[in-house]
Structure 1
Amino acid sequence: MIAMPASSPVQRFLHWADTCPNDVFLRQPINGQWQTLTFAQAADHCKRIAQGLRSMGLQPGDKVALLSKNCSEWILADLAMMMAGVISVPIYPTLTAHSIESILVHSESKAIIAGKLDQYDKQKEGFPADIRIIGVKAFNSKGDVQWEDLLVQNEPIAAPFAWDLQDVITIIYTSGTTGAPKGVMHTLHSIDRVIQTATPEIPLIQRPTLFSYLPLSHIAERMGIELNAVYNGGFISFAESLDSFAENLADTQPDIFFAVPRIWIKFREKILQKLPQKKLNLFLSIPILNNLLRKKIKTSLGLSKAYFVVSAAAPLAKEVQEWYKKLGIDICQAYGMTEDCVYAHFNRPGSNKFGTVGKPLSGLQVKFSDEKEIRVKSEGNMQGYYKEPAMTADMFDEEGYLKTGDIGELDADGYLMITGRVKDQFKTDKGKYIAPAPIETSMLTNHHLEQVCVVGTGIPQPIALVTLSDSGKMQQQEALFAQLEADMQVLNKTLEKHERIEKIVILEKSWTVENGLLTPSLKVKRNELEKIYLPHYPMWYSKPTTIVRDNG
């Protein structure tokens, strides 16, 4: 592959503002009505906000936090910060005041842009007294300075700040399935190399239609949606709310769609509620109905035009991929992390192997430790964790490879398979280690289950903690228990003796971002579950029934 010249997000964005100024760049619904900004309008807004940041006394190299749900202002703020030369610190919009305060203090942020938020007044309690707050009137977030006033009171910045390629331009605090979030430092060079490498290889098309709904504070959404649009002249639409998500997505019909496994499970559940599996199978077996039905389902989901449909963040069961394939939806699994800036593994359209996370992008070096931990080296690797030299050193081996913490192996065709997490492994009281991820992925093929966490510390055999999906909650208990037990018996036949599930424990309490049991990217916080439920394992294990319902 011939290396493309180095560039920057600001340079690429201004290219589109110059060459197609009147094309729509951003589109978001406000009270059900779409509002748009062209590239030229967006560029003017960014330049004025950048000058506004300078007028507040912020200097190149200062840190500015960004706390907001996905919206046009999020994208504009990120680009404006790059133009002003300040380092962005994106924060998940669902975090509590305590978590927000710890990030703001640790990052030494001098200002925070507070945009579209559901609980701004509560979250604001975590802002240090000396931080400058930029609010957005459109979203009722009040600050020392308002976004709209900065637009009116400032002329466009004369010239965007000239970053050096090795300058840190953002500090991304990981969502953290274990321990406190850590500030991942990425340079202009790492971000530029990832996008420029991925664009021809995946491939990412020019002028894509995109839909943004997963947190932009997460590396995958920021790279795959925001910076994909910035580099390739894309058109981004947003979801207004959870209630309008399906309608907004269907109205957009994006070229690329990215989701986490939980969303694919939810989509399937909704389809099967309207069209039970037996009837779906019948319709798909009739050639004329097959084509009509597939087209209708894809259009209703918003995926009628999607050429690249991606699942990442956690394993997606092969069976689920095969189910969607029958509907004409080819889900490509991908694999990356904040620390490698998703300079990573991808299945590509036309080269998609179910049950794997694909092959690496060019230039990504991959090796496995003696324990089969995946280790990677590329130009996308982070510079380190902000103010944490010891933790940074622990993340790299003697050859400079990043320790991913994931266990995996290559199949005969060179596709990577993820088989678990190093830290997720646990030991039963028989002294046997269990890798829970593949077992959990298999169990989630049952659409009556919403979430699964396989545990077993201190008991002879593993047990599965589960919550029910909407369809599972509607089932008669006797029928539900019978199905879960039958599925467990089938699953256990595929497992080693020490891996076999002894009990399924149905928990009434859902696992959410708000109660601290899921990360903002919807991954289960195993250690937080253990804190709550570990004392109950022996009691559940001793129950005479295979399926245990805990109403606590």
Structure 2
Amino acid sequence: MTTSQTRLDPITDLKAGAPFDPPVRSTGHMLRNRVASTPHRRAYSFPVADRSGDDTWKTLTWGEVGAQASEVAAGLITLDVQPEDRVAIACTTRYEWALADYGIVYAAAATVTVYPTTLADDVVFIIDDSDSRVVFVEDADQLAKLSGLRSEIPKVHTVVLLDNQVPVDADPSWVITMNELRRRGRERLETHPGEIDARIDATDLDDLATLIYTSGTTGRPKGVLLPHRVLVFEVLTMDGTLHRTSPDEHITIDDKQFLWLPLSHVMGKLLLMTPVHIGFETAIDGRVERIVENLPIVRPTFMGSAPRIFEKAYNGIVTMMAEEPGPFGIREKLFHWASRVGTKVFEADYGTSGTTVSRWERAQARIADRLVFTRIRERFGDRIRYFISGSAALNSDVSRWFGAAGMTILEAYGMTESGGGSCLGTPGTYRTGVIGRPLDGMELRIADDGEILFRGAGVMDGYHNNPAATAEALDDDGWMHTGDIGELDHDGYVRITDRKKELFKTSNGKYVAPALMEARFKGLCPVASNLVVIGDGRPYVSALVALEEDTVMAWAEREGVAGDYTAVTADPRTRDLVQGYIDELNLSLNRWEQVKRFQILPRDLTVEDAELTPSLKLRRKPVAAHFAEQVEANYA
């Protein structure tokens, strides 16, 4: 590898079922190649608070990131971290998370991810079950959570504080700072200069790279064993598939990613490794409340996200237009006209309905773009080529609107167990309402009962310490059972219809698939945060509706609905508003699927109350338990 190269070559000939034998043997090997190839190119930018508390954005080159990762790796070696030893990270999305992870892979250890919002009992389980010996924590709050559990995690001998702010009551025999770890690492590098390279060279594809505990919608988290093979495969196949299907629109070294997703999620992990392979810059800041503010500052060309962020952005724009309609409501009317003509043309070009549009309608769409969508793109930084959506179903109407606005959302599908990415809608194969085709090298088939099965180098080795769950997920022929129900059309496109375990049957014997109904409703109703469809064993389908506080309060102010959030959600006018969108949803459903009754919840669902996973997936059992009174009111 010469330093004059600007990127690592994509692999565009991965064949399903063929042996996987890539030129890089580990994620550490991949990072070392990147640092050697483009040491002076920008790798990361991230916010740093100045004296006044305002953000300034600091940048680092790949050479600087590589040097810092080597210090962290050598520091871990001074803590007696051996190859494949587990090192946990409990931190929000920030540069220090990425640095800790890169240091772990350089040391040939394995990263264990812990969401900072994880409840204490699950933190104990994850750290103890994974045999983690060192834990990186973000700040004093995360340290306090861990300190309170110290007697229950006896294998942990060192905690490293990433923000370097040590509380006065911290035990110095147990807690060190990231600065101290790196200082020890620099000393180690001076006395053992070839040690990091030796560890990288000794690491191979089947060695453990990361242990990710699925947040799960039910039961204890399961530790997914992902060797380097899975992560290397995922990065190479996504890059290669984009090159093959979209030769003029693939991601290049000159792109820029905005990364806010939780890095404890497998999608976040992949978005850490993809720039290592391709070499583009990543702007990283996990403060969700700053996403909208950051976009015009960062000016990314692409961004990965969960569907909820796109739904909130769309609903926010709709609300803004309603709040500032202009004289005679001209701005709002213009916005809705542009949305109609734009989505019609986009659906004709990229949809599955087979509709056509006239030259006049295309001309209208071009006018709409100049008058409306150009300004909207400026709010997103004016450089977005596409977004990538994953982790849950994306509402098709929201997808079409973003496409009409010139910011196509590519849907990705996968699980932690399949490395995060198994199917991807690429610019060259894009269709609305589907999740694209299987990535190159990944085999897919639909079982007799409709379940989607995968096989290939991107599939996990199994669940840690859980042979029964492993046997249930992986059959004797190597097929991974996803638990998702789907369809494969004659062109090879995959459509998810629901989760196998979430399908329910009413007392009338009719099956209902709730997830797609819930996603559709959130795209229809601008004030909705979540819809929970209920009806298992019941005579009809009902729902619980949680409202987005900022959006519904803005609506309430415009409509003269007085009171706080609780009062607004209980107001009959709010119910009438939601009823209208429930009626609209029902028009698209079979009779037995239609929502007959609903209750508006007095608060939104939260991660802290275990009603949502950290990646914002719905946990149905806790919701049903916490709002049992509202559920029963639907059937009173």
TM-score normalised by the chain length of structure 1: 0.92
Q: In the aligned structure 1, how far is the partner of 2:293 from the partner of 2:366? A: 29
Q: Which residue of 2 aligns with 1:409?
A: 487
Q: 1:369 to 1:273 in 2, by over 3 A?
A: same
Q: In the aligned structure 1, how far is the partner of 2:165 from the partner of 2:373? A: 39
Q: Which residue of 1 aligns with 2:598?
A: 504
Which one has a larger percent helix, Structure 1 or Structure 2?
2
The offset of 1:462, in angstroms, is: 1.0
RMSD of the alignment, in Å? Answer: 2.2
Q: Which residue of 1 aligns with 2:568?
A: none
Q: 1:482 to 1:294 in 2, by over 3 A?
A: same
Q: Are 1:233 and 2:279 counterparts? A: yes
Match of 2:632 among 528, 534, 538: 538
Q: Structure 2: which amino acid aligns with 1:8?
A: S
The offset of 1:135, in angstroms, is: 1.2
1:421–1:437 Cα contact (<8 Å) kept: yes
Give the secondary structure class of the aligned counterpart of 1:202. helix
The offset of 1:346, in angstroms, is: 0.8
Q: Deviations over 1:23-68 (max 9, x none)?
A: 2212111211212222122111111111111111222222111111
Q: In the aligned structure 2, how far is the partner of 1:167 from the partner of 1:258? A: 28
The offset of 1:360, in angstroms, is: 0.6
Q: Are 1:113 and 2:156 counterparts? A: no
Q: Structure 2: which amino acid aligns with 1:485?
A: Q
Q: In the aligned structure 2, how far is the partner of 1:124 from the partner of 1:202? A: 45
Q: In the aligned structure 1, how far is the partner of 2:24 from the partner of 2:627? A: 51
Q: Which residue of 1 aligns with 2:204?
A: 164
Q: 1:137 to 1:412 in 2, by over 3 A?
A: closer
Q: Structure 1: which amino acid aligns with 2:30?
A: R
Q: In the aligned structure 2, how far is the partner of 1:144 from the partner of 1:221? A: 27
Q: Deviations over 1:65-110 (max 9, x none)?
A: 1111111111111111111121110111211222211100111111
Q: Deviations over 1:372-417 (max 9, x none)?
A: 0111111100000001111100102343210100011123432111
Q: Structure 2: which amino acid aligns with 1:158?
A: G
Match of 1:6 among 24, 30, 36: 24
Q: For 1:131-530, list aligned pairs within 5 A.
A: 131=156, 132-138=158-164, 144-155=175-186, 156=189, 158-160=194-196, 161=199, 162-203=202-243, 204-207=250-253, 208-223=255-270, 225-239=271-285, 241-276=287-322, 277-282=332-337, 290-302=369-381, 304-445=382-523, 446-469=525-548, 470-473=550-553, 474-475=555-556, 476=561, 477-530=571-624
Give the secondary structure class of the aligned counterpart of 1:154. helix
2:414–2:420 Cα contact (<8 Å) kept: yes
Q: Which runs of 5+ in 1 are unaligned?
A: 543-552
Q: In the aligned structure 1, how far is the partner of 2:365 from the partner of 2:388? A: 28
1:317–1:441 Cα contact (<8 Å) kept: yes
Q: Structure 2: which amino acid aligns with 1:257?
A: M
Q: Are 1:37 and 2:60 counterparts? A: yes
Q: Which residue of 2 aligns with 1:550?
A: none
1:307–1:349 Cα contact (<8 Å) kept: no
Q: Which runs of 5+ in 2 are unaligned?
A: 1-11, 15-21, 50-54, 244-249, 323-331, 340-363, 562-570
Q: In the aligned structure 1, how far is the partner of 2:222 from the partner of 2:581? A: 39
The offset of 1:119, in angstroms, is: 5.0
2:164–2:178 Cα contact (<8 Å) kept: no
Q: Structure 1: which amino acid aligns with 2:29?
A: Q
Match of 1:74 among 73, 93, 97: 97
Deviates further, 23-32 or 110-119: 110-119
Q: 1:140 to 1:451 in 2, by over 3 A?
A: farther
Q: 1:2 to 1:369 in 2, by over 3 A?
A: closer
> Percent identity, aligned pairs only?
29
Give the secondary structure class of the aligned counterpart of 1:69. coil
2:160–2:181 Cα contact (<8 Å) kept: no
Q: In the aligned structure 2, how far is the partner of 1:199 from the partner of 1:51? A: 31
Q: For 1:116-127, list aligned pairs within 5 A.
A: 119-127=142-150
Q: 1:454 to 1:415 in 2, by over 3 A?
A: same
Q: 1:173 to 1:291 in 2, by over 3 A?
A: same
How many equivalent pairs are there?
540
Q: In the aligned structure 1, how far is the partner of 2:297 from the partner of 2:216? A: 33
Q: In the aligned structure 2, how far is the partner of 1:118 from the partner of 1:512? A: 19
Q: In the aligned structure 2, how far is the partner of 1:272 from the partner of 1:486? A: 17
Give the secondary structure class of the aligned counterpart of 1:78. helix
Q: 1:262 to 1:182 in 2, by over 3 A?
A: same
Q: In the aligned structure 2, how far is the partner of 1:69 from the partner of 1:296? A: 32
Q: Structure 1: which amino acid aligns with 2:551?
A: S
Q: 1:420 to 1:174 in 2, by over 3 A?
A: same
1:335–1:357 Cα contact (<8 Å) kept: yes
Q: Deviations over 1:232-274 (max 9, x none)?
A: 1121112263343322222112222111111111101221222
Q: In the aligned structure 1, how far is the partner of 2:484 from the partner of 2:318? A: 33
Q: In the aligned structure 1, how far is the partner of 2:94 from the partner of 2:437? A: 32
TM-score normalised by the chain length of structure 2: 0.80
Q: 1:148 to 1:366 in 2, by over 3 A?
A: same
Q: In the aligned structure 2, how far is the partner of 1:87 from the partner of 1:434? A: 41
Q: In the aligned structure 1, how far is the partner of 2:206 from the partner of 2:224? A: 15
Deviates further, 292-301 or 478-487: 478-487
Q: 1:496 to 1:43 in 2, by over 3 A?
A: same
Q: Structure 2: which amino acid aligns with 1:145?
A: I
The offset of 1:317, in angstroms, is: 1.6
Q: 1:486 to 1:205 in 2, by over 3 A?
A: closer
Q: Structure 2: which amino acid aligns with 1:37?
A: L
Q: Are 1:62 and 2:85 counterparts? A: yes
Q: In the aligned structure 2, how far is the partner of 1:50 from the partner of 1:288? A: 55
Q: In the aligned structure 2, how far is the partner of 1:486 from the partner of 1:154? A: 62
